[in-house]
Amino acid sequence: MIGETKPDEACGARFINYETGVKPNIASGVAVSGLIDCIHKVIIEKDVFTGHDVMFLTGSHNYYKFGENRRREGGGGPITIREGAWIASRAIIIGPCEIGKHAVVGAGSVVTHDVPPYAVVAGNPAKVIKWLSDTPPKKEPVVFYTIASGKYLDYAPKLLNSFKKFNKYPFMVFSDSDVNTAKECGYDWGRNYAYFGSLLSEKYETVVHIDVDCLVTGPLDELISGDWEVAGCLNFGKNYIEKNNLQGKSTIGIISYKDFLTAGIMASKSELFWKSWKHSTFTKWNNFKGFKDNNPLMVEQDIFNLIFYSGQFKTKVVDNDSSGVFYGTQSREKWNQLKLNNHDITLDGRKVRIMHWAGGNGVEKLNYRKSGIPEDVCKRLDILIS
């Protein structure tokens, strides 16, 4: 059983920032020798134990600031230690991070990123040095997922029905209870694309995210196959860019609007990418508020673009001009010109794979008969969502 833990209870840890911070949740019977910083949430599950003088540090500071501002502006993030993990003596765990089930953290290690289940890590910074079997746990090939919380839950059946007409892969829907669990772990911002993708990346080789306000209109091979680590879809069509005079750089300054990607439809074959996106988004949102109008959803998407174009991963834009397909919002400005060709929905000779409404709360999402779409295409969509 996990509940709020008080400083005088039996886990053995010394708590700091307990009265002013977030109360930790530590399973009964857990033994901790060391210090737990409560600025952000700490969750420790059953059968976890530590060596001597371990530190769980959830607080940090904004190193871009100087003097008094550096001292006063907080940062850091939550820490979750999953069932059965062993944290050896004098290890330091720095949030935001998660230690996976039955993982081992070597003595004196400094952990700054997530540790996979059944991994043994050591060093500063801690890295995987072995697995608690001959090979890492085998992963399933592919999973798709969407987040359908609150008023968006009703969109999920239409998305799933249209997806299943063309694709046989598993599809996960994260709803209100999942979002609440993320919040309990301290991830209370944006859409949590990176949080849920990171969880799935521990079990699946390829993880694909599709926003719930989408309809799938064809097979999604471009998001599955190919020699790449991260795949993205363009956010702005040429008409939209010209109409709104967006020929220059985007709001993050180093990526043009014509190259800017949506986080609403993307895929990755790299667990490291998902962990990096989750960690960077949490750190950026909590340490540097004001980034893109202080909007956590936009922060998450901006950081996706920054990582995508950083050169760290092998990348692919799946719907560029030479691809022969449209994904997402790039085609939306010209939906009144959609055509139906032998059950394929096309635009300008390119097949439309996904129709993404996006556009915030003001858009009447998934109501294609109010979106200027030709009636023969609407009848095809009627079939796809049934």
Q: Collapsing DSSP states into helix, strand and coil, what is residue 81?
A: strand
- Under the banding of pLDDT at 50, 70 and 90, the label for residue 181 is confident
Q: What is the distance between the alpha carbons of residues 220 and 236, in angstroms, rounded to a whole number? A: 20
Average pLDDT, the chain: 85
| pLDDT tens digits, one per residue of 16-37 | 888 888 888 899 889 899 999 9
Angle at the Cα of 135 from the Cα atoms of 126 and 106, rounded to 5 degrees: 25
| pLDDT tens digits, one per residue of 359-375 | 655 456 778 888 889 99
Extract the tokens encoding 181.
């669990």
Q: Specify the higher pLDDT residue, 292 or 136.
A: 136
pLDDT at 268: 97
For the chain, the helix, strand and coil percentages under 3-state DSSP, each to the nearest 5: 25, 25, 45
Closest-CA residue to 332 (of 366, 298, 375): 366
Extract the tokens encoding 138.
């085998």
Mean pLDDT of 284-291: 50
pLDDT at 269: 96
Q: Specify the higher pLDDT residue, 385 or 330.
A: 385
Site of tokens 């100087």: 66
Does the pLDDT of residue 264 top 50, yes or no? Answer: yes
Considering only CA atoms, give the Rg of the chain.
23
Q: What is the distance between the alpha carbons of residues 269 and 228, in angstroms, rounded to a whole number? A: 8
Torsion, CA 273, CA 278, CA 282, CA 288, rounded to 10? 30
DSSP assignment letter at 256: B
Does the pLDDT of residue 10 top 60, yes or no? Answer: no
pLDDT at 108: 96
Extract the tokens encoding 231.
């795949």
* Strands of 200-342, DSSP E: 204-210, 214-216, 230-234, 261-268, 315-317, 325-326, 339-341
Q: Specify the higher pLDDT residue, 201 or 187.
A: 201
Does the pLDDT of residue 48 top 90, yes or no? Answer: yes
pLDDT at 296: 54
Extract the tokens encoding 308.
């995508």
Does the pLDDT of residue 3 top 60, yes or no? Answer: no
Does the pLDDT of residue 52 top 90, yes or no? Answer: yes
Mean pLDDT of 265-293: 74
DSSP-H helix ranges across the chain: 68-72, 156-164, 176-184, 193-201, 238-243, 271-287, 296-308, 375-385
Residues 334/237, Cβ–Cβ less than 8 Å: yes
- Beta-carbon contacts of 150 under 8 Å, excluding residues fewer than 6 positions away, are 176
pLDDT at 67: 80
Does the pLDDT of residue 230 top 50, yes or no? Answer: yes
DSSP assignment letter at 67: T
Mean pLDDT of 252-279: 87
Q: Collapsing DSSP states into helix, strand and coil, what is residue 356?
A: strand
pTM over 0.85: no
| pLDDT tens digits, one per residue of 351-360 | 999 999 876 5
Burial class (CB in 10 A: 0-12, 13-18, 19+), 254: exposed
pLDDT at 375: 95
DSSP assignment letter at 20: T
- Beta-carbon contacts of 235 under 8 Å, excluding residues fewer than 6 positions away, are 260, 261, 262, 328, 329, 330
- Under the banding of pLDDT at 50, 70 and 90, the label for residue 379 is very high
- Under the banding of pLDDT at 50, 70 and 90, the label for residue 285 is low
| pLDDT tens digits, one per residue of 310-324 | 999 999 999 988 889
Most confident of the ranges 41-45, 190-194, 255-259: 41-45
pLDDT at 289: 45
Extract the tokens encoding 318.
């799946």
Does the pLDDT of residue 4 top 80, yes or no? Answer: no
| pLDDT tens digits, one per residue of 110-123 | 998 889 888 999 99
Does the pLDDT of residue 288 top 60, yes or no? Answer: no
CA 54 from chain centre, in angstroms, equals: 29
Residues 163/216, Cβ–Cβ less than 8 Å: yes
pLDDT at 90: 96
- Beta-carbon contacts of 4 under 8 Å, excluding residues fewer than 6 positions away, are 23, 24, 25
Q: What is the distance between the alpha carbons of residues 207 and 264, in angstroms, rounded to a whole number? A: 13
Does the pLDDT of residue 290 top 50, yes or no? Answer: no
* Strands of 23-139, DSSP E: 25-27, 34-37, 42-44, 49-50, 54-57, 79-81, 86-87, 92-94, 97-99, 104-105, 110-111, 119-122, 127-131
Q: What is the distance between the alpha carbons of residues 113 and 95, in angstroms, rounded to a whole number? A: 8
- Under the banding of pLDDT at 50, 70 and 90, the label for residue 86 is very high
What are the structural domains, with CATH classification, of the chain? 2-131 (2.160.10.10), 140-317 (3.90.550.10)
Q: Collapsing DSSP states into helix, strand and coil, what is residue 91?
A: coil
pLDDT at 18: 85
pLDDT at 140: 93
